[in-house]
Amino acid sequence: MPQDIVPLKRALISVSDKTGLVEFAQALDARGVEILSTGGTAKALRDAGIAVKDVSEVTGFPEMMDGRVKTLHPVVHGGLLALRDDAAHQKAAEEHGIGMIDLLVVNLYPFEETVAKGAGYEDCIENIDIGGPAMIRAAAKNHGFVGVVVDVQDYDPVLKQLEVQGGLDLAMRKRLAQTAYARTAAYDAAVSNWMAGAIGMETPRRRAFAGTLAQGLRYGENPHQQAAFYTTGEARPGVATARQLQGKELSYNNINDTDAAFELVSEFDPADGPACAIIKHANPCGVARGDTAVEAYRRAFDCDRTSAFGGIIALNGKLDGETARAITEIFTEVVIAPDATDEAKEVFAARKNVRLLTTGGLADPAAAGTAFRQVAGGFLVQSRDNGRVLMPDLKVVTKRQPTEAELADLLFAWTVAKHVKSNAIVYAKDQATVGIGAGQMSRVDSTRIGRSKAQDMAEALSLPLPLTTGAAVASDAFFPFADGVEALADAGAATVIQPGGSMRDAEVIEAADARGIAMVFTGQRHFRH
């Protein structure tokens, strides 16, 4: 039977990440714990004046094959796996000179970091740990008697329990074992997913995903749902890698919406000028470019001032004081940008409920990646939607040719439509959205909603006509019937961008020609469910 408190007499320490190593080992040494170790870990401990015994000294077998073989030995695994209350196990250990190991401290070769640095295939292979996962799984299986530490964050809790109780209790060992198995699972997932990509397997027979807890959340989408935020270790700038400068903790919905906002604004290269995106419930309610950040923000805000209240604001460049002051004129949940000036930080410091995040850079919209979504009994996996349409990709299908300015607005609207829930319709004019229809079962309904929002803002801004008059319109997928184009024409649209590919494309083009609309096809769609 497992012991509640296991006294610590012998520990094996072999770590790649040596953060906090010396202090942890010194505390064990001060308690009279014998320390076994290997390679670079042993050297680091000896250099710190800590008594260490090499594993090779215990096994009677030298490290070999460039360190590939050092802990894969019965003396090590027997010391980890032997049941302390099983007479046969203890007799076998005595006969073969196997000493018990009460604590294993191992973190693995830095495989994920090696991949992230863009290392070649062979370097990545060499950074796949074998002995470490084997020992971790052995110790975790025998948690009835053995403690296993795989994260630096567990050093302090372990030392505190040793100080108070003289050993680790069963509850602690169970928690450590769970963390250990999750770590080896995440490690194997990282290796298998990297290898699938490296050898060109688009649909491997088995697929695994893993994450590390970033923070527990008060609740999920609704208060009765439990939730937490896990990160994958991907270095892509965004909400997962951002530094939160102020404000209360992000909620589940905040994180989801902030990710949507930053991914959208990252589509706009700062070299082409400032851009701002305002998101509500994962949908854009305003997106715009401007000569300055504050102009981009005000133009985005003027698309739908009502929905912007309590929204998420993302900028593609450094947040300045003037823009910060403009943003604080209404209630905003989160502001995210690559950076912020000291003046902007001071402005937000007076609004303690506003979360301010900086990312250090923009996400690359063209980068490859993997997206997955759970369904009952499984999950769907697809590549990230990194599709991009450039001017040469456009095919004009109507009699009227769009002007250069209209083409620029069409591409702007198309870029925004990629980030709007389907069915998506985006009206844009002069590099700013002026009406957005999102998430409707009918594309015509999305068309009408976008027009209605533009009409509401025309009244609020005392404009003679809604800005949909003369606007460019993007549709994330083709128009199945001519009624969609008719509805856009009724709204005053001048140009339309859509994928094309409907059985009734000819009818749709004919309707556009009849209303004097210029239409271009992209040959690419952007469903977003």
Active site residues: 141, 281
Output the 3-class SS for 16-50.
CCCCCHHHHHHHHHHCCCEEEECHHHHHHHHHCCC
Rounded distance, CA 414 to CA 341, Å?
31
Query: Please, what is the angle between helix 170-198 and helix 155-165, to 10°?
Result: 160
DSSP 258-319: HHHHHHHHTTS-GGG--EEEEEETTEEEEEEE-SSHHHHHHHHHTT-HHHHTTEEEEESS-B
Backbone angles phi, psi at 469, to 5 degrees: -65, 115
Distance CA 450, CA 466 (A): 11
Q: State the number of CA atoms in the 13 A half-sphere of 188 facing the CB.
A: 15
Yes or no: say if 366 and 388 are a contact pair by the CB < 8 Å rule: yes
Nearest to 246 by CA among 333, 344, 357: 357
For residue 329, the surrounding DSSP H or E stretch is: none
DSSP secondary structure letters along 348-417: HHT-TTSEEEE-SS---TT---EEEEEETTEEEEEE-------GGG-EE-SSSPPPHHHHHHHHHHHHHH
In eight-state DSSP terms, residue 468 is T
User: In this structure, how many other beta carbons lie within 10 angstroms of the beta carbon of residue 406?
Assistant: 20
Residue (of 328, 320, 325) closest to 354 by Cα position: 328
User: What is the helix (H) or strand (E) element at residue 467, kind and residue range?
Assistant: none
Cα–Cα distance for residue pair 501/374, rounded to 1 Å: 30
Which tokens sit at 526?
Answer: 């952007």
Alpha-carbon distance of 514 to 294, in angstroms, equals 40
505 contacts 417 by C-beta, under 8 angstroms: no
